[in-house]
């Protein structure tokens, strides 16, 4: 029944309510909650685009900006810890597993994808399949605007990823990395306290 209500009303009611913040947030929450389990204390500021199996688990007190893209395929899953912040335009795509720890923040248009296309002789690229490896992002991790996290990466608690960095290897707790590919810029004296 919830899904039917969503599909019937979403096209016209969503745009009507965008101008009214409180009602607009309630509508955005309802639209997402009709499609995946969602704790009532999550704040959803706008449209969330879902694709695939919808194997997505939200923690408590998430703060979700508009234009979030979430996709799970095959056995993939996305798990968000408590108090996670996902900024505008973040892309999370999982064919295996993406786990984001409590209190972590992902900046605008950052991308976390645990799979890559593969090439096989005599097959078109779109038919050649994927390789995947889990991505684990620790607690209180700050990922800057436009950063890209690649398959198999583990990021330790309290790490900071600079804007537009491409992270293709593990990042130790409390470390600040940046660049393409990302390299260590600074190591905090305490893993739970990162300064720039």
Q: Does residue 117 have an active-site annotation?
A: yes
Please state, in angstroms and rounded to a whole number, the distance separating the CA atoms of residues 46 and 63: 11
Exposed, middle or buried, 82 (CB in 10 Å: 0-12/13-18/19+)?
Answer: middle
Q: Which of 117, 122, 154, 193 is catalytic?
A: 117
112, 167, 156, 151 alpha-carbon torsion, rounded to 10°: 50
What residues have CB less than 8 Å from 38, skipping those under 6 apart? Answer: 29, 32, 44, 58
Confirm if 28 and 9 have CB atoms less than 8 A apart: no
Helix, strand, or coil here: 153? Answer: coil
The catalytic residues are 117
């Amino acid at each position: 029944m919830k899904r039917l209500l969503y599909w019937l009303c979403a096209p016209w009611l969503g745009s009507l309510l965008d101008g009214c913040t409180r009602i607009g947030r309630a509508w955005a929450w309802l639209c997402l909650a009709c499609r995946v389990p969602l704790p009532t204390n999550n704040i959803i500021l706008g449209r969330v685009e879902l694709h695939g199996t919808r194997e997505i688990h939200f923690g408590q007190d998430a703060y979700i900006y508009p234009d979030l893209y979430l996709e799970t395929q095959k056995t993939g899953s996305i798990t968000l810890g408590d108090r996670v912040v996902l900024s505008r335009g973040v892309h999370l795509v999982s064919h295996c597993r993406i786990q984001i720890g409590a209190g972590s923040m992902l900046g605008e248009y950052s991308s976390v994808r645990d799979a890559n296309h593969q090439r096989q002789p005599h097959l078109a690229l779109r038919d050649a399949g994927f390789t995947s490896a889990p991505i684990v992002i620790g607690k209180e991790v700050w990922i800057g605007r436009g950063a890209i996290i690649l398959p198999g990466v583990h990021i330790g608690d309290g790490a900071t990823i600079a804007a537009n960095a491409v992270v293709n290897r593990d990042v130790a707790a409390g470390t600040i990395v940046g660049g393409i590919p990302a390299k260590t810029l600074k190591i905090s004296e305490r893993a739970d306290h990162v300064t720039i």
